[in-house]
């Protein structure tokens, strides 16, 4: 399920900029801005909320099975302890933060490109 959500988010995230590049000779209208804002909201929710949530569910459902198959006793004890939960949260929050920063960097780069092309007027 996580793979399907991730592939859908990436497909939409890749298709939207490609669609905009093809139409780059036009100015940004209110309708286009609203539609792009809705798409960016959906992409943001998938990347920032859904994918990290699915990762947490996956970690919780598989860590016991992984701990049973680990032959090294200290590592198996780590998989059952509170330290595992802390590491799991750090990993998922790092991925979530990377998606969050990526969205802002892409928006900034797009805005700068549009400003340099003279498409934004104050």
> In terms of residue numbers, what domain contains 84?
2-116
Q: Classify residue 121: in a domain, yes or no.
A: no
CA-CA distance, 92 to 15, in Å (whole number)?
26
Report pTM. 0.61
Q: Classify residue 98: in a domain, yes or no.
A: yes
pLDDT in tens, the chain (122 residues): 666 766 776 676 666 666 666 665 666 677 877 877 788 788 888 888 888 888 888 887 877 666 666 666 666 566 666 777 888 888 889 988 988 888 888 888 877 887 887 766 65
Q: Classify residue 42: in a domain, yes or no.
A: yes
Q: How many domains does the chain have?
A: 1
């Amino acid at each position: 399920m996580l793979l399907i959500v991730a592939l859908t988010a990436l497909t939409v995230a890749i298709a939207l900029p490609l669609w905009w590049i093809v139409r780059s000779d036009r100015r940004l209208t209110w309708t286009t801005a609203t539609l792009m804002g809705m798409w960016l909201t959906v992409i943001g929710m998938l990347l920032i909320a859904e994918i990290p949530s699915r990762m947490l569910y996956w970690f919780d459902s598989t860590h016991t099975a992984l701990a049973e198959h680990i032959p090294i006793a200290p590592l198996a004890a780590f998989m059952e302890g509170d330290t595992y939960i802390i590491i799991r949260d750090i990993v998922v929050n790092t991925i979530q933060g990377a998606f969050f920063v990526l969205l802002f960097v892409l928006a900034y780069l797009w805005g700068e490109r549009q400003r340099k092309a003279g498409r934004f007027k104050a």
